[in-house]
Amino acid sequence: MKSPSKPLRVLYSFPHRLGADRICYTAWQQVNGLAAAGAQVTVMAASMQREVPANVVVSPTLSRGSLRIPYRILGSRRAFWLHDYIVSKRLERLAGSIDVVHVWPLGALRTLAVAQRLGIPTVMERPNAHSRFAQEAVRAEGNRIGVGLPPGHEHAYNEDILSQEEEEYRRSFRLLCPSDFVQKTFRDHGFASEQLLRHIYGYDEATYFPSPEPRQAASGLTALFVGVCAVRKGVHFALEAWLNSPAHRDGKFLIAGEFLPAYEAKLAHMLSHPSVQVLGHRKDVPELMRRSDILLLPSIEEGFGLVCTEAMGSGCVPLVSDACTDLCMHMENALVHHVADVAALTEHISLLHAQPELLQTLRNNGLKLAPSITWTAAGVKLVEAYAQAVDAHRGSKSTNFLPTALSKAAAS
């Protein structure tokens, strides 16, 4: 294997506040991982919430210094359009100095068109499943249990947004899928496998790590849910399974996240059980994971499920649906059930309640895997995905671009 002749030059376009919560945090960690992997990264985010490595070029689109264009005044859709317009104009001036353009949904149509005209391969991040599948699946489950999403909610069915995202899918040279589940939803919507690049998200090992103290024998399991408490996350499945399992008799189920009001009202009879503790939004999630035995995430749809890797890195065993990341391997480091299979999830909770030795085995295996699923490791995989896109765009079977970590290994 030859060492790379030059670093990969990446334009990373992000129409939100890089380093804020949720996908903004994911994007920030991706940029950090890319820089660590040796890529030359130019970030064009709407604004910056956190600092990035010194070797990353930062060129905000909707801010200057501490001044930002407020989305609440401009409106999100207009702000995304403006971001896309600015990035597309800047890309014109960067022709010849960019190898690949990384874009995010709802702020990319003009950038994709310019990149195509300039002959630059583009990759689109897919932080969730195919949006039409996701919105239809969540709407169907909401209708089944009688809970609708408020108008304008990010996961509410919206044909205009779906149409725009689907046009972005079509114009992107490749789609970046962080899990097999995401890939499947795109294949089911007619995309060829070669259009779908696999990568992963990671976790911050400096924040999520196991307790240095040995776990004390407890009389019952501590289960944990972390995230927005909404239909798509399947909290109702988790509650039903927990209360059907004997684990609820001497254990506790902690729910860390804010509920949508209608959903909370619908689940009030289960939330009021003495074994269930609704904690609301918490800033001590890493410590909660270190103190918990199992993480429950029975999602209807997911892009990856960051909390799964964070839980494994903290010594907490994921019990998840098969919509979550495939890094959760059944009976190896996790227990995995089919979406909406409450009986299976009940059985899994009961199994670990009855067999603490199995719980410890799964925990140990998760901790062994953890070093290979950090954000640094994810950055290496992302550079590899970029290189595949560049190769395919050039019609080549090999690449001159390798992550720094791999090139050092090849040279040794």
Whether 10 and 41 have beta carbons less than 8 Å apart is answered as yes
pLDDT at 170 over 80: yes
Cα–Cα distances (Å) from 58 to 35, 71, 81, in that order, read 12, 20, 20
Q: Work out the average pLDDT over 141-162.
A: 84
Q: Both tokens of residue 106?
A: 């709802």
Same domain, 235 and 91: no
Query: 49: part of which helix (H) or strand (E)?
Result: none
Same domain, 237 and 197: no
Same domain, 184 and 37: yes
In this predicted model, what pLDDT tens digit does every residue of 223-274 receive, in sequence order?
A: 999 999 999 999 999 999 999 999 999 999 999 999 999 999 999 999 999 9
Does residue 358 belong to any structural domain of this protein?
yes
From the list 114, 56, 41, 42, the residue with the least C-alpha distance to 84 is 114
Q: Give the pLDDT band of residue 5 (cuts 50, 70, 90).
A: low
In this predicted model, what pLDDT tens digit does every residue of 370-389 receive, in sequence order?
A: 999 999 999 999 999 999 99
Does residue 210 belong to any structural domain of this protein?
no
Same domain, 361 and 387: no
Q: Give the pLDDT band of residue 406 (cuts 50, 70, 90).
A: very low
Distance CA 243, CA 237 (A): 10
**Structurally, how many domains does the chain consist of?**
2
Contacts within 8 Å (CB) and 24+ apart, 157-166: 161/106, 161/131, 162/131, 162/132, 162/135, 164/106, 164/109, 165/105, 165/106, 165/131, 166/131, 166/132
pLDDT of residue 220: 92
Distance CA 226, CA 224 (A): 7
Same domain, 16 and 157: yes
CB atoms within 10 A of CB 375: 23
Does residue 111 belong to any structural domain of this protein?
yes
Same domain, 347 and 396: no
Whether 345 and 337 have beta carbons less than 8 Å apart is answered as yes
Does residue 15 belong to any structural domain of this protein?
yes
Same domain, 193 and 54: yes
Higher pLDDT, 112 or 395: 112
* Verdict on whether the full-model pTM lies above 0.85: yes
- Edge-to-edge strand list for the sheet holding 276-278: 276-278, 252-256, 222-226, 294-297, 317-321, 335-337
Q: Work out the average pLDDT over 335-356.
A: 97
Does residue 391 belong to any structural domain of this protein?
yes
Looking at the chain, the number of H-run helices and the number of E-run strands are 16, 15
pLDDT of residue 74: 80
Distance CA 178, CA 269 (A): 36
CB atoms within 10 A of CB 135: 24
pLDDT of residue 218: 65
Does residue 77 belong to any structural domain of this protein?
yes
pLDDT at 398 over 50: no
The domain that holds 326 is classified in CATH as: 3.40.50.2000
Same domain, 26 and 162: yes
Same domain, 177 and 303: no
Cα–Cα distances (Å) from 272 to 153, 201, 276, in that order, read 27, 35, 7
Beta bridge partners of 100: 10
Cα–Cα distances (Å) from 175 to 186, 211, 238, in that order, read 9, 38, 31
Determine the longest span between alpha carbons in the chain, in angstroms: 65
Q: Give the pLDDT band of residue 150 (cuts 50, 70, 90).
A: confident
Same domain, 402 and 315: no
In this predicted model, what pLDDT tens digit does every residue of 71-98 receive, in sequence order?
A: 777 888 999 999 999 999 999 999 999 9
Same domain, 165 and 249: no
Q: Are strands 222-226 and 294-297 parallel, antiparallel or unpaired?
A: parallel
- DSSP E strand boundaries for 129-206: 174-177, 196-198
Q: Work out the average pLDDT over 202-224.
A: 88
pLDDT of residue 412: 32
pLDDT of residue 2: 37
Q: Both tokens of residue 395?
A: 């019609």
In this predicted model, what pLDDT tens digit does every residue of 7-61 receive, in sequence order?
A: 999 999 999 999 999 999 999 999 999 999 999 999 999 999 999 999 999 999 9
Does residue 209 belong to any structural domain of this protein?
no
Q: Domain containing 195: what range? A: 9-202+374-411
Q: Give the pLDDT band of residue 400 (cuts 50, 70, 90).
A: very low
pLDDT at 4 over 90: no
Does residue 216 belong to any structural domain of this protein?
no
Same domain, 186 and 319: no
Distance CA 226, CA 259 (A): 11
